[in-house]
A = this chain, B = another copy of it.
Amino acid sequence: MSPTPRIRLGMVGGGEGAFIGQVHRLAAALDGDFDLVCGAFSRDPDNNARTGAICGLAEERLYHDWQALLAGECALPIDRRMQLLVITTPNHLHVPIAEAALAAGFHVFSEKPAALSLAEAERLANTWRQHTGLFGLAHTYLGYPMVWQARAMIAAGTLGRLRKIHVEYPQGWLGDALEHQDNKQAGWRTDPALAGISGCMADIGTHAFGLAEFVSGQHISELCAALGSHVEGRRLDDDGDVLLRTVEGASGTLIASQISTGEENALKIRLYGEQGALEWHQMEPNSLIHRSRGEPLRVLRAGIDQPSLVPEARERLRLPGGHPEGYLEALGNLYRDFARAIRRGERGDVPGVPGMTSGLRGMAFIEAVTHSQAEGSRWVPLPAIDSTGATI
Contacts and interface: CB of A to CB of B under 8 A. Distances in A.
Interface of A: 1-6, 19, 22-23, 25-26, 29-32, 36, 49-50, 52-59, 159, 163-164, 166, 168, 170-173, 175-176, 224, 226, 228, 230, 239, 241, 243, 245, 251-253, 255, 257, 259-266, 270, 272-277, 282-286, 290-301, 303, 305, 307-308, 318-329, 376-379
A264, A277, A291: residue with the most chain B Cβ atoms closer than 10 Å: A264
B29 A30 contact: yes
Given A164-B239, A243-B226, A261-B276, A19 B319 contact: yes
Given A261-B293, A319-B327, A328-B325, A166 B29 contact: no
A325 B301 CA distance: 16
A1 B53 contact: yes
Contacts of A291: 172, 261-263
A194 to B, nearest CB: 20
A299 B329 CA distance: 24
A50 B329 contact: no
Contacts of A300: 296
A326 B30 CA distance: 13
Contacts of A164: 239, 257, 259-260
Given A32-B56, A379-B377, A320 B265 contact: yes
The number of times this chain is found in the oligomer is: 4
A25 B32 contact: yes
Contact of A308 (B2, B3, B243, B295): B295
Contacts of A266: 322
Contacts of A175: 274, 293
Contact of A326 (B224, B252, B325): B325
22 contacts: A3-B56, A22-B318, A26-B318, A164-B259, A226-B251, A261-B277, A261-B291, A262-B297, A263-B291, A265-B322, A282-B322, A284-B324, A285-B324, A296-B298, A296-B308, A297-B298, A318-B328, A324-B326, A324-B327, A325-B326, A377-B379, A378-B379
